[in-house]
Structure 1
C-alpha cells in the first residue's frame, strides 16, 4: 500500500495547493483533514507516514475561537516525540513551536508579505531537508506572526531579512518553515481582502511573473520531505 501523508487544513483559503500533486509525484498520497469543517484531529498519526500542518490566518494561540488548534498542537507534539516525520508551514510552523515549548508573537514591524531570499545558516546548508533549497532562492512570506523563541533543542536553519525565524529543525525528522512552498498565484490571490495593500499587489504580481522559475525549487523541498518520510515511515 502506498504510504500516506496526513495533511491538516485550517481554512478554505489556505488549501494544500501544489503540495498534493508534488507529494503524489514523489510517490506518496495525501489524506486531507479540513479541521475547520469540524473533522476531529486524531490523537496520533496512526498508520500515516508523515504529518503536514498547513498555514492559516488565525493566531496559533487562539484556542477559544479555533477549537481544533489545541488537539493539532497535541498531535504535532506526539508526532515529534515519536520521531516521526513532520512539516509545519507558516501557521503549522508556529503551532509546532508552541507545542514543543517555544514562543510565538506578532512581528514587531508588522506583516511580512512578498518574496524573500532563502538565507540558511550553516546548519541549514547541511540539513537533510533544507539543503534542497539553494541559498538565495526566493520563497513567499505572508505572515503577521512569527516564532519569537525556538523550543528547547530546536535548531535555527534560516533567518529572514528582518531577523525572524525562516525555518527550524524541531526534531530529528521535524521541520517548520515560515514561508509557503505550496502556493501559486491563484491560491495567493484569495488571501487579499478588501483593498489590497501595495505589498500584497506587488507580491501577487511577482509570483504571477516568476512562479514558473520558483516552483521547481519549491517542489524539490517538498520532494525531499517525501523522501525522508518514505525512508522513516514510523
Structure 2
C-alpha cells in the first residue's frame, strides 16, 4: 500500500480521524515526530502531510527540525509529490513558496468556523468536493498574510484571507483542521480553554457550535480526506 510521510510537531500529534479514512481508501501513512529526526528525502513515500504546531514556520530556534521540514516541503513541490499542509503545515508551504506568515497580524480563530470557497475551487482536484460554504475547525493566532505569486487561492473566512490554496499541481495548504472533530475539541485541556477565552471566545459557545455542525463537518472532512487519498493513488 502506498505510504504518506506525516510530520508531527509534538509526540502526541497524529492524523486522528483522517487516518482510518486514508487506510480505507488505500493509502497508508507513517507519522514521524520532527524532534526524533526526519528522512533526508521523500524517496519511497507517495505523499507528504505536515501537521499543525505552535511556532511560525521559520522559528527554527523553537523547533529545530523546521529546516528539514521545509526541505521536504520543497522536494514535494519540485517533485510534484502530493502534499497536504494543515495549519502550520499550510503556513510552511506558503512560506517555502515565497509567501508571508505573521503572528497575530489578524484576529485569531478557534473552534468550528464558516469557510467560503473562492472561484478557483470549482476546478480544483481536491477542494471541488466541498460546497461553497462549509464548517471546519480552526485553532490559530498566526496567519498567511500573502501567498506565493504562483499560488491559487481556494478558500477564505471572515478573519483569514487564506483558508486554502494550491501551489503547483499537487500541493495544498490549509489553515483549517479537517482532522479535528467536535469530540477532539471537547477534550481540550484547561490551558487550551484559557487560551481560547483569552482570545475573546466563550468556551460554552465554542462547544455549542461544534455540536451543531459536527455531523456536517464530519461528512465533509471524510469526503475531503478520501479525495486526497485518491489523488495520491492516481499520481503513482
Shared fold (TM-score, shorter chain, > 0.5): yes
**Given the two structures, how large is their TM-score scaled by the length of structure 2?**
0.90
Matches within 5 A, 1:26-41: 26-35=25-34, 38-41=35-38
- CA offsets 1:147-168 (integer angstroms, 9 cap, x no match): 1111131111112112520100
CA shift, 1:192, in A, is 5.3
| Counterpart check, 1:86 vs 2:89 | no
Matches within 5 A, 1:1-234: 2-12=1-11, 14-35=13-34, 38-188=35-185, 189-190=187-188, 193=191, 195=194, 196-197=196-197, 199=201, 201=203, 202-233=205-236
**Structure 2 residues without counterparts, runs of 5 or longer:** none
Cα-Cα RMSD: 1.8
Q: Contact 2:116–2:132 (CA<8 Å) still a contact in 1?
A: yes
C-alpha distance in structure 1 between counterparts of 2:202 and 2:162, whole Å: 21
- How many residues are aligned here? 230
- CA offsets 1:63-97 (integer angstroms, 9 cap, x no match): 01110111101100111111110000000000111
C-alpha distance in structure 2 between counterparts of 1:191 and 1:29, whole Å: 30
Q: Contact 2:166–2:172 (CA<8 Å) still a contact in 1?
A: yes
- CA offsets 1:93-131 (integer angstroms, 9 cap, x no match): 001111121110024343211322221111012211001
**Structure 1 residues without counterparts, runs of 5 or longer:** none
C-alpha distance in structure 2 between counterparts of 1:133 and 1:191, whole Å: 31
Deviates more, 1:41-50 or 1:102-111: 102-111
